[in-house]
Structure 1
Amino acid sequence: MFDRSYLQNPLSEYLKWVITKMKYQRKYQFLKIGYMSKLFNAEFGKYNWIGNNVIMINSSIGDFSYISDDSVISETIMGKFCSIGPNVRTAPGKHPTHTIVSTHPAIYSNPSYCLKNFQTKDYHNPIRNVIIGNDVWICANSIIADGIKVGDGAIVAANSVVTADVEPYTIVGGVPAKFIRKRFKDEQIDILEQSKWWDKKIEWIDNNSDIFLNIEDYYNHHIKNKK
């Protein structure tokens, strides 16, 4: 049986990467794409960087967000100033666990990668989109399941599997990921959510960079300016 793997070789894969890198870096300002990363229908903001061997599929990331080596970001809308650690997976796909008899995709759908399918359409069809807010840190080796929303300012600890939505400015971890603690006091979180600093102009962030070093300074600055 002949398949595309016969056509794959180090030179052809390298040339594909070079073409992809040139195409996207010509289109987007201040974008860096790491060695052998693959992009399929990807959208970027400004000042993004993508590590080595990253795969992005049907996804977008906002200004200043980055993705570290060996991550696979699929069906994801990501905000600004996000930090994605190495070997992170989003929307890895779900198999049916009840009603449908088999968990094998050839039984309930018709994916192109199966050599034979028993259906002409997908009878499972779960919601795949992952929504990641702004200023989110997802640590190494974490998995964000299909259809999950991670709120602004949240942190996902290393080696976690997130199967439920994550509230803004909370830290979660474990398998499955559970609430660990809030990052800041409630009134401080309220100010952060109201101010939406990630949407301000770069000049404002640059001029006020000192208040970002301590949440009390940031809080007091905004309380003072609201009076």
Structure 2
Amino acid sequence: MVDRSYLQNPFFEYLKWLKTKIKYQAKYKNLKVGYMSRLINVVFGQYNWLGNNVIMINSSIGDFSYISDGSVISETEMGKFCSIGPNVRIAPGKHPTHTFVSTHPAIYSNPDYCMKNFQTKDHHNPKRNVIIGNDVWICANAVIADGVTVGDGAIIAANAVVNSDVEPYSIVGGIPATFIRKRFKDEQINVLNRSKWWDQSLDWIEKNSDIFLDIEDYYRFHTK
């Protein structure tokens, strides 16, 4: 096994980041990649920005969604207009908790980061993909476990650990995260779910921006 740490130094790491920044910002319109962020197989929409030291792997992110400093996003499909706070972890990986005698990956798998493995193939293949809806706010230091779906308009409180699906327009928090309350009345949520404002044109959103300042105005606009 090659110890790649011998090859790392600040200058080479900077050059790798600069190459990544230039590559992705040349490909995607109105994208900003923060300092020393690392991207592997990522698909962007429009008007995205990443803070500093963000890691994204095998993921996609919709229009206007942003990710703050220090967050690590793996195996995630994220919708539009999402707000991801600092130091969020999405799909950080799972170790087995039953059947296998040990939770150590060298015992049940063969990852290249272990100095020695006892298997020739991976015997633990959990569902990793995470689905984040549109207009979702994930606050600082939250962890979203592998395989979770977070519905449109949901809010994940700071420091929460989410290990089960989150309903649209609900607020969850705690360890493990539990339901706190709905953001709006049921009839208002129904209108939001039907209207899917994030799929409207930018011209429509700009023209009707005033109705976004009060849920009652938005509701009346769509039910008049």
The residue that corresponds to 1:203 in the other structure is 203
The residue that corresponds to 1:105 in the other structure is 105
Count of residue pairs brought into register by the alignment:
224
Identity %: 78
Letter of the aligned partner of 1:128 in structure 2?
R
Q: How does 1:86-101 map to 2 (within 5 A)?
A: 86-101=86-101
- How far residue 166 of structure 1 moved from its aligned partner, in angstroms, is 0.2
- How far residue 127 of structure 1 moved from its aligned partner, in angstroms, is 0.4
TM-score, normalised relative to structure 2: 0.99
* Counterpart secondary structure, 1:218: helix
| Residue 75 (structure 1) aligned with residue 75 (structure 2) | yes
Aligned partners of 2:72 and 2:40: how far apart in 1?
11
* Counterpart secondary structure, 1:32: coil
- How far residue 91 of structure 1 moved from its aligned partner, in angstroms, is 0.5
Q: How does 1:1-227 map to 2 (within 5 A)?
A: 2-224=2-224
- How far residue 120 of structure 1 moved from its aligned partner, in angstroms, is 1.3
TM-score, normalised relative to structure 1: 0.98
- How far residue 173 of structure 1 moved from its aligned partner, in angstroms, is 0.1
Deviations 1:23-70 (A, max 9, x none): 000000000000000000011000000000000000010000000000
Deviations 1:115-146 (A, max 9, x none): 11111111111000010000000000000000
Aligned partners of 1:9 and 1:99: how far apart in 2?
42
- How far residue 3 of structure 1 moved from its aligned partner, in angstroms, is 1.2
Aligned partners of 2:138 and 2:103: how far apart in 1?
29
* Counterpart secondary structure, 1:31: coil
Aligned partners of 1:144 and 1:69: how far apart in 2?
17
* Counterpart secondary structure, 1:6: helix
- How far residue 2 of structure 1 moved from its aligned partner, in angstroms, is 4.8
Aligned partners of 1:138 and 1:77: how far apart in 2?
14
Give RMSD over aligned pairs: 0.7
- How far residue 171 of structure 1 moved from its aligned partner, in angstroms, is 0.1
Aligned partners of 1:94 and 1:183: how far apart in 2?
30
Aligned partners of 2:112 and 2:126: how far apart in 1?
17
Aligned partners of 2:2 and 2:221: how far apart in 1?
65
Unaligned 5+ residue runs, structure 2?
none
Aligned partners of 2:2 and 2:157: how far apart in 1?
43
Letter of the aligned partner of 1:215 in structure 2?
I
* Counterpart secondary structure, 2:32: strand
* Counterpart secondary structure, 2:194: helix
Letter of the aligned partner of 2:63 in structure 1?
D
Letter of the aligned partner of 2:70 in structure 1?
D
Letter of the aligned partner of 1:7 in structure 2?
L
Aligned partners of 1:122 and 1:4: how far apart in 2?
23
Aligned partners of 2:2 and 2:73: how far apart in 1?
30
Letter of the aligned partner of 1:223 in structure 2?
T
Letter of the aligned partner of 2:16 in structure 1?
K
